[in-house]
Amino acid sequence: MGDILAADGTTLIKSSNDPDFNGVISDGGTGFYLYTNWEDRPGSMSRMNLSNLGAGETGYQNISLEGMLDFSSVDGTWVNCFGTVSPWGTPLTAEELYFDDTADWFDESYQYFSNPQSLAQYLGYPTDGSGAWPNPYKYGYIVEVGTSSTAADPALANVELNKLELQGRFSHENSVVMPDQKTVFLSDDGTGVVFFKFVADAAGDMSSGTLYAAKVTQTNGVSDPSEAAFAIEWIELAHGAEADIEAAIAEYDAGTLASPSYITDQQINDWAEAKLSQDLDGSGSVAADPFTDDRPAFLESRKAAVALGATGEFRKMEGVVINYGLADNWWNAGAADGDQAYMYMAMSSFDKTMADDEGDIQLDGTHGPCGVVYRMTLKENAGNVDVDTMVPAIVGGPYYSDRDVNECSVNNISNPDNLAVMDDGRLLIGEDTGNHENNVIWVYEDPAL
């Protein structure tokens, strides 16, 4: 477990010690399959079967480690971070792409150049860049593991893999599918990042649909992070079909260090100008669209979103989750406990781009290094699930910059990361922090329940 092999299936690249997300899929019998992300470069995922729960507290009698998934069919995967399980029973693992500028993928002087080098090693390319080089547009997506019929297939080799390019390319932390089985909300981990939404054309089919990005408006005159809410307007980036975007990605297969191939900032600007019929760069004219498709929306999603007016100021956006049972009950049954159908999102920090004096978000960042968790009430919009407001549920801190340890108060959360909503609506908050001497998991009883 944790051994990451090259695409040849035999060469050991590394033994990872960085597990992250766990997803559980029923095996149709007495147990389940446990899928575990390995947040590394290249990334991977393991699977084991647990069954035959013993009486009392004796635990599962049968535990079978099936091994690591083979991602070679999608040219490998990258920094498998958090994830969720889809309503149709497939793990959705998130590739957390750290390259804000795709040009850095081909820059030997870039501080994280060893990362694409590791993918070159995985693919069997020369790691000195003297030959073929990994296509940057093959990484940075939500990856669906299996189908509704194969995710729990007892033969590991039958687990199919599909990168969901239509849900955008960025530093994915997590995606969560709503009970309409069309709407997907997606978090973006980094500094100066974007909140995304994807709406599929048909329920349960992610192969075509529309990608959106959030434009937020902060509560007027309120900078206190415990009181400042954000109204959300969704800006449409583009509609697309998976086959078309995958064809566009293939156009960049030939890029090498000597001859890089990627979408330039100028091309993104020109695409946005043509889409908006507006001069964005002050050139004095509106540029012609350099593409016959909307590839910037799906392959350079963050830059494309900001160019079209979305808010690109969020900081360390982490897990975004619902309790699917509560949300499904609200959506399909309209039960009284539907008011517990909240979606939560963690921001590990709310300093820097969320706490400057520019743009849409201008919070007081005094305690920003300790983070915040936001609550969003699920709503119906034109037959789909939606959210239109982000409200602070719990804010970390106070932050003590002069301390050597426990810079964030130990009586409160610090750098919230993975989240899970329990069946009674209470929220589990997992820390990923250096501001507490020990990371802990909190149970949050939201007063909104």
* Position 20 in a domain: no
How many domains does the chain divide into? 1
| pLDDT top residue among 151 and 355 | 355
On the question of pLDDT at 337 being above 80, the answer is: no
What is the predicted pLDDT for the residue at 145? 96
User: What does DSSP say about strands 230-241 and 183-188: parallel, antiparallel, or unpaired?
Assistant: unpaired
10 token code pair: 């035999």
Please give the average per-residue pLDDT across 258-274, as a whole number: 98
On the question of pLDDT at 133 being above 80, the answer is: yes
What is the predicted pLDDT for the residue at 148? 87
Report residue 336's pLDDT band, with 50, 70 and 90 as the boundaries.
low
On the question of pLDDT at 166 being above 90, the answer is: yes
* Position 414 in a domain: yes
pLDDT in tens, 169-185: 999 999 999 999 999 99
What is the predicted pLDDT for the residue at 30? 86
Of the chain, the percentage scoring pLDDT greater than 70 comes to: 99
* Position 352 in a domain: yes
On the question of pLDDT at 98 being above 60, the answer is: yes
On the question of pLDDT at 101 being above 70, the answer is: yes
* Position 114 in a domain: no
What is the predicted pLDDT for the residue at 339? 64
* Position 186 in a domain: yes
* Position 196 in a domain: yes
Q: Which domain holds residue 191?
A: 182-236+297-305+312-449
Please give the average per-residue pLDDT across 11-25, as a whole number: 95
On the question of pLDDT at 441 being above 90, the answer is: yes
pLDDT in tens, 358-377: 999 999 999 999 999 999 99
* Position 356 in a domain: yes
231 vs 216: CA distance, rounded Å: 5
Please give the average per-residue pLDDT across 95-118, as a whole number: 95
Please give the average per-residue pLDDT across 281-309, as a whole number: 98
Contact predicate 310/214, CB 8 Å: yes
